[in-house]
Amino acid sequence: MRPGIAQTCSKMGKYFLIVYALASVIYTAHYFYTTYDRTSTSEKPLSAFAHVEPQNRHVQQEHLRGFSSNVNWASGQDVVQSVSEDFILSKVFSDAMGPSNVMSYYYKASSSFEQEDITMSTLVTRNRFMVLSRLASHYKGPISAAIHVNDDETKELVLQELEEMVATNPDVRKFVDIHLILDNFDRQFNMWRNVAKLFARTDYVMMLDVDFHLCTDFRQRIRTNPEIMDKLRSGRAAFVVPAFEFTVQDDGLNSTTFPASKEALIKEVDSGKLDMFHKSWLRGHGSTNYARWYPSQEIYQVDTYDFSYEPYIIYKKNGTPWCDERFIGYGANKAACLYEIYLSGVDYWVLPEDFLIHQTHKYLEEARRKERQYNRKLYSNFREEICLRYSRMFYSSGEWDTDRASNLKGECEKIRGFRSTMHASTL
């Protein structure tokens, strides 16, 4: 293990830096926003966004961008060092392609949220603005949306569409924090996921695809259930909301026609109208174990985890792994997030009464096949790396013989050579 300790330390140092940077960014944002008049603070005016300055008085949200381009590293009351925000963000997202212009709270929700609430953490592209708007009106709770906009000649139009969407729905202004990612790197889904999680304002987040309709009120059910809340607080459990889709795509166009109770859902499943999400790719959601779910009235633990499992989960924001930003494009990106979360010692539990239904839309298929092939290769190496890295971490932290390492042990022993490598290096 010797040669790796420095590496482990640097990794831990990196996580510490990220957390510290986040705290500093938020603190500074708050400080500048509350201390200075906006017009006098734009030392570095983001001229490209001048047209979305809130001249439109009907847009009530706070615009925090342009507040400062520096983050102050403080010791007590003293500013020790002033570092540019761009520089810090380049470190925060150093595994992604860059540079990116990340503007947190480009639109900030006017509501304040309870710490123990659940934020819908999601990615939105231009063609989904209305889907986000509907989600805001339906959920009426905290939403953290990462919106990627290409930094090209379409930018102005897209930002205008975004502003219109915000302006026309009071629920968006009330509940949705919008974080803008401006660059020319398409489909950096995991980086975008991390942006949405990073700036979420509550202790718990749900990693959600915005296309899914939240059919039941799991937010209320979770928050009033002490057993579930205790598990969430521990940071050692994530809750799966099972996902469904209509067998005839056109049935999935209008969410007001979707079942709103498990009983109604099961009727439609029995009649063949609805089925588990992506039945043709069983490994994606099969571990949820739908056959067990239908009659279930209690939460139950996922006991046949598969590395392709990619359920929609509610979990603790703090202390859980981030999504690996080296995954770009379709295939394996979400599964990689869930793999690392699982190996880090988070167990997956399935909620018995709640479910999501996919809202139909047209996919763009061209880019997908090549990217999937590329990511399959990357994912296979990634799993090996994660197994070794977390094994080392559990050894060093004295947790190898605890329950926390059991997900890792079960999963990593499937990797060829893992056992012998670990055996050799721990002697």
Ligand X SMILES: *[C@@H]1O[C@H](CO)[C@@H](O)[C@H](O)[C@H]1NC(C)=O
* Residues at the interface with ligand X (CB under 6 A): 254, 256-257
Quick one: 202 or 255, whose CB is closer to ligand X? 255
Tell me the HSE value of 186 on the side-chain side, using a 13 A CA sphere: 7
Q: Tell me how far, at minimum, the Cβ of 278 lies from ligand X, in Å.
A: 25
Instruction: Give residues with Cβ within 8 angstroms of 408, minimum separation 6.
Output: 343, 345, 387, 390, 391, 394
Q: Tell me how far, at minimum, the Cβ of 253 lies from ligand X, in Å.
A: 7
Q: CA 397, CA 391: separation in Å to the nearest integer?
A: 10
Q: CA 30, CA 177: separation in Å to the nearest integer?
A: 15
Quick one: 211 or 371, whose CB is closer to ligand X? 211
Q: Are 145 and 124 in contact (CB under 8 A)?
A: yes
Quick one: 183 or 245, whose CB is closer to ligand X? 245
- Strand, helix or coil at 228? helix
Q: Tell me how far, at minimum, the Cβ of 256 lies from ligand X, in Å.
A: 4
Quick one: 79 or 264, whose CB is closer to ligand X? 264
Q: CA 63, CA 108: separation in Å to the nearest integer?
A: 7
Quick one: 24 or 255, whose CB is closer to ligand X? 255
Instruction: Give residues with Cβ within 8 angstroms of 264, minimum separation 6.
Output: none
Q: Tell me how far, at minimum, the Cβ of 175 lies from ligand X, in Å.
A: 22
Quick one: 112 or 257, whose CB is closer to ligand X? 257
Q: Are 424 and 417 in contact (CB under 8 A)?
A: no
Q: Tell me how far, at minimum, the Cβ of 254 lies from ligand X, in Å.
A: 4
Which residue's Cβ has the minimum distance to ligand X?
A: 254
Quick one: 225 or 255, whose CB is closer to ligand X? 255
For tokens 């997908």, the residue is: 368
Bridge partner list, 356: 214, 243
Quick one: 130 or 157, whose CB is closer to ligand X? 130
Length of the chain: 427
Bridge partner list, 212: 358
Q: Are 120 and 139 in contact (CB under 8 A)?
A: yes
Where do the H-state alpha helices sit in 185-245?
189-198, 218-223, 226-234
Q: CA 412, CA 406: separation in Å to the nearest integer?
A: 10
Quick one: 113 or 129, whose CB is closer to ligand X? 129
Q: CA 240, CA 219: separation in Å to the nearest integer?
A: 12
Q: Tell me how far, at minimum, the Cβ of 255 lies from ligand X, in Å.
A: 8
Q: Tell me how far, at minimum, the Cβ of 100 lies from ligand X, in Å.
A: 35
Where do the H-state alpha helices sit in 217-332?
218-223, 226-234, 262-270, 282-285, 290-293
Quick one: 34 or 256, whose CB is closer to ligand X? 256
What six digits make up the tokens of 331? 């295939």
Beta strands in 263-389 (DSSP E): 274-276, 300-301, 312-316, 347-350, 356-358
Residue type, 123: L
